[in-house]
Structure 1
Amino acid sequence: MAAPAATAAAACAAAGEVEVTTLQMEGWGPGRCIFGVCHFPAGTSWGPAECLIFITRNAVYRLPLGAPAAGGPGCVGSAVPQLLAGRESEELVARLDGSGSDARFQFLGGGIAMDGERQLLLRDWDIATDTTSLRLMAPDGTVSTVAGVTLPGMWMRPAILPNGYLAAYDNTLVKPEPDSDDEEQEEPYWTRLRIAVIATNFAPPGLPAAAAAAAGPPPRSLPGDLGALLDAQPDSTADLTIRVGERRFHVHRAILSARCDYFKQRLAGDAFEDARAAELELPDADPNAFALLLRWLYTGAVDVPADQGRGVAELADRLLLPSLCTAAQDVVAASVGTGTIADSLLWAAGCCESRGGNFTRLLARLKRWYVERAAEVRREARDGLRALMQQQPDLMLELMEAELMEASGQRAVKRSRLN
């Protein structure tokens, strides 16, 4: 990479060529691996010169990008990596927040990301506990651990989504439980691929200045304009107030009537006294769930947090919004884990009994989830299973029968392969 890099790149582009420069890093042995690289242009908070930031197993380095070797582009250049944080070591050390060489990492392999404030996001894997934590490194070399973000497994390739959420994936070799009926197991391991999206609030990385300028202002849209109208409340345009618990929501009758059959019936003509009321009450509803439902009515879309999935699903079913109810149920299904599956099954079964068939699809999904991971659930969530046995014995019996059928089918497939 030449200096100034922009001039060299422009010259190569004009000639229709690609410039490649190999950087031979001084003092860098062949056994030291690089697990992630991030580029910073000149004049950023990471330094006045253009540079690469890269990570090894337990350290972070800065590599200045200077002029090419005397032979010109394509020749081998020479650069000296500068240690920014951590320390090279083959020994396992405890994680330690701090600045520069005082910070300690356990295993940084698996990628690097940058947020909109030009902080580095590093995933740090603890080999002993098989958990992944998120470390944050500021341009001044200060390393901190992001609270509340610890995932089981070795998560890799962190990426910040446009809404500020963090995404990563886990690719793990899992050893299944031995099958006593088989004399030989052909495949002792199988691969489990998972993707996690965590509701963080990182500043998303922006477009390059040139691309942002070329893009111009975003186009107007009906969902965007109606969302802005909702955000502007209360104002002179609202003609109705909905009281949910201690909160009041200023809304527009026409939008609620057009988008929701429940409100269409409640606000229609002289069918109810509510049609002339300036304020209506929605009893026995969660204000936070209603706020999300209202966003969906105005814009046609809403991000339902995992902890609000159940409340939104129940309220959407009550207010005759099957599409939103299904979307909220999908959130519940996607967020279930071994520690929560029993409680989720209890909730879904209760909804089927009290609300009818709108929750049968979710209950079937949760049953399949349990059957596929029954052994793991029994190891980690015995208290939840006891509650399930006590409150829904028929459902627990159905799950046990499905588990036996699943195991029998797997054994039959294995025997057919051996024969």
Structure 2
Amino acid sequence: MALSHRTLTLKAARGLVVRPRPGGGPDQALVFLDDGGVHELEGVGPDAKLGPKLAALAADGAWQGSPAYDPASDAVYFAPAPAPPSGSTPRAPVAAFPGFVSKLDARNRFRDVAGSGERGFTDGAGVAARAARITTLAPDGKGGVWMSDWEWIRRLDTRSGEVTTLGGVNRPGRVHMPNGRWCNQLRFDPATDTLWTTTRTAVWRVRVDGGGNGSGSGGGVELVAGDWQQQGSVDGSGTAARFDLITDALPVSGGRLLIADCLDLRCMDAGGAVTTLLRGCFPSGEYRQMAILPSGELGVMMQNGRLVLVSGGEWASPVPPPPAATTDLLLSLLAPQAAAEDAGGSGSGDASVAPGTVTVRVGGRAFPAHRSVLAAGSEYFARLLAPGGGFAESGAAEVALPDADPAAFAHLLSYMYGTSLGLPCTQLLAVPAELLRPTAALAGRLQLAGAVAALTERLAAAATPASVLSDLAWADAHGMTDLAERLRAYAVWNRRSVVAQGDLVAEFAKYWPQQAAELLKAFAEAF
């Protein structure tokens, strides 16, 4: 179905957010008005209209930061503009930006959460915290709300009210953005556990390894699409794409990111490829916020108070994956120790194996599996088990994977069964950090392209200045060229922090001279 759009006029609307309806029923779309009122958006399509006022701030109240719903605390968080100074007109420019965060709970009650009306920049709990310019909020669904505050990315703990600052890789106390630019938007994708930010012409992945503790070593940004300086409207993959003026982004299902770019609606897929979905759908080129409405339409709140509704897209808000089975649980379910002991480790097969199944022996564990699932999920097994394919194992009751890690294979076997049922891979490959490398290597050996892509994405996202050189050497050694290119780009971007690693750099140059030469060339070309 082709995309289409239409525009509704709302009075002085400032924000749009969707939350579960209190008491049950269909989700509820809330519109925040300039006068401090909150109304439900009732009806769909051309019949949509504002319902009765559900809540309101004080008489002089106003909104600034885009409202965002947090499922962990079942509340909508927002940044209200502080009251104007004594003797000034309401919402005078000097008081245009908020210095605190509040929430609207499921009973439509307002409550201040952190900070005060006094501007500043101070980490702390509750009223002790200070903020300079909070413009966007992005709940992570795990007890935190990420906030953009000028050049800084900060995190509010919704349980304690503690505000901390994500430390940067080049400039302590802040996340370094090129040319002194700060992030326009922050958006969190719970399905991929990714925090996204945008500048005017680029999309970035935010690294939050330090958990926002303000130590100066826990964060950084990775350029994913566009260019930090060059403008344009060019579809393409990654840094080949160009953007005119990004004003909002919205994670949707499938790891995609909808992007409001000047007059156009665009999309970046999970692999970083950018395409234009609908041109000229935002006449003014200015937005406040995007949200997937209960009707399934994309709602885009404009700065002039109009609401643009885009229909025909297969969109849904991303949802966090269910808790993944632990490695020990997977091993106990897929290769019980008793079965391995009964098999005796002889590799001679087992006459009791059911028709249509095969035992895959990995290390000291035996994994019974359906031939059809293995063949459908892995090109390696498809050739190995094909009748008349020339392999001795094609009709055998048992096959072996020498030198493979049983724990890694347990995760990949679970992945193959899950994908055979149509489950998304992001819900199946919750591999612990210590198993990422062996699982990715085994996935490449078994030719599981989807698993390789998902695992290398995590490896790239987990890189730090202290780990990137060893990660790069490992990726090159295992023929993972795409991962190696991303790691090399990360090292170039953070070259000062990488070079500061001292002994690690010397070790890299000694044992991997070819990779070191390529990296040195990339460093030189970056200047």
What runs of 5+ residues in structure 2 fail to find an aligned partner?
1-30, 81-97, 169-174, 176-181, 212-251, 254-290, 297-329, 336-353
Name the residue aligned to 2:516: 396
Cα deviation per residue 1:59-107 (whole Å; 9 max; x = unaligned)?
42559999xxxxxxxxxxxxx97534443333443322xxxx5674556
Q: Secondary structure at the match of 1:257?
A: helix
> Which residue of structure 2 aligns with residue 318 of structure 1?
445
CA pair 373-198 structure 1, distance change in 2 beyond 3 A: closer
- Mark the CA change 1:151 to 1:193 in structure 2 (over 3 Å): closer, same or farther: farther
The aligned runs of 1:147-226 (5 Å cut-off) are: 150=166, 152=168, 153=175, 157-161=185-189, 163=191, 165-169=193-197, 171=199, 193-196=203-206
Q: From 378, 385, 398, give the equivalent of 1:260.
A: 378
Q: Paired residue for 2:272?
A: none
- The equivalent of 1:111 in structure 2 is 136
Structure whose CA Rg is larger? 1
What's the secondary structure of 2:112's corresponding residue? Answer: strand
Distance in 2 of aligned mates of 1:26 and 1:359: 58
The answer (yes or no) to whether the contact 1:165–1:198 under 8 Å persists in 2 is: no
Q: Distance in 2 between matches of 1:39 and 1:323?
A: 32
How big is each residue's C-alpha offset from its partner over 1:217-248, in whole Å with a ceiling of 9 and x where there is no partner? xxxxxxxxxxxxx9x979x9983343445655
Deviation at 1:391, TM superposition (A): 0.8
For residue 253 of structure 1, report the CA deviation from its aligned partner.
Answer: 1.4
Cα deviation for residue 198 of structure 1 reads 7.0
The separation in 1 between residues aligned to 2:163 and 2:359, in whole angstroms, is 44
**Which digits, 9 at most, give the CA deviation of each residue in 1:181-238, with x for residues without a partner?**
xxxxxxxxxx8752238799xxx99998887xxxxxxxxxxxxxxxxxx9x979x998
Deviation at 1:112, TM superposition (A): 2.6
- Within 5 Å, which residues of 2 pair with 1:282-301? 282-298=401-417, 299=419
Distance 1:399 1:359 in 2: 16
Which one of the candidate residues 120, 123, 143 is aligned to 2:161?
143
Unaligned runs of 5+ in 1: 67-79, 173-190, 212-229, 352-357, 408-419
Q: CA deviation at 1:400?
A: 2.5
Change (3 A) 1:131 1:312: farther
Question: Is the 1:53–1:63 Cα contact (8 Å) retained in structure 2?
Answer: no
Q: Which moved more, 1:339-348 or 1:162-171?
A: 162-171
Give the deviation of 1:315 after TM superposition: 1.0
On the 8 A contact 1:245/1:283 being kept in 2, the answer is yes
Contact 1:54 1:62 in 2 (8 A): no
State which of 410, 415, 425 in structure 2 corresponds to 1:302: 425
Partner of 2:122: 93
- Paired letter, 1:252: H
d(CA) in 2 for partners of 1:166 and 1:249? 33
Other structure's SS at 2:191 match: coil
Distance 1:245 1:105 in 2: 56
Looking at structure 2, the residues matched to 366 and 115 of structure 1 have their Cα atoms a distance apart, in angstroms, of: 26
Q: Which amino acid aligns with 2:463?
A: V
Counterparts of 1:134 and 1:106 in 2: how far apart (Å)?
11
In structure 2, relative to structure 1, the CA distance for the partners of 1:87 and 1:237 (3 Å cut) is farther
- Provide the secondary structure at the position in 1 that maps to 2:466: coil
User: How many angstroms apart in 2 are the aligned matches of 1:364 and 1:59?
Assistant: 40
| CA distance in 2: counterparts of 1:348 and 1:272, whole angstroms | 32
**Identity, % of aligned positions:** 20
Deviations 1:318-369 (A, max 9, x none): 2244565466445544543433321122213333xxxxxx434544554455
Helix, strand or coil for the counterpart of 1:35?
A: strand
Change (3 A) 1:345 1:82: closer
| Preserved CA contact (<8 Å) 1:38 1:54 | no
Question: Does the 8 A contact of 2:137 with 2:148 survive in 1?
Answer: no
DSSP-derived class of the 1:34 partner: strand
Does 2:478 match 1:348? no
Could you say if the C-alpha distance between residues 336 and 395 of structure 1 is closer, same or farther in structure 2, counting changes exceeding 3 Å?
A: same
Q: Could you tell me whether the CA contact under 8 Å between 2:143 and 2:157 is conserved in 1?
A: yes
How far is 1:252 from its partner? 0.5
Bigger helix share: 1
State the aligned residue count.
Answer: 322
Distance 1:321 1:10 in 2: 46
Does the 8 Å CA contact 1:243/1:249 hold for their aligned counterparts?
Answer: yes
Question: How far has the Cα of 1:262 moved from its partner?
Answer: 3.1
Task: Quote the Cα distance in structure 2 between the aligned partners of 1:243 and 1:18.
Answer: 63
CA distance in 1, matches of 2:376, 2:39: 57
The structure whose RCO (Cα within 8 Å, separation 6+) is larger is: 2
CA distance in 2, matches of 1:384, 1:88: 47
Partners of 1:123 and 1:155 within 8 A in 2:
no
Match of 1:37 among 44, 67, 79: 67
Work out whether residues 107 and 124 of structure 1, in 8 Å CA contact, stay in contact via their aligned partners in 2. Answer: no
1:58 matched to 2:177? The reply is no
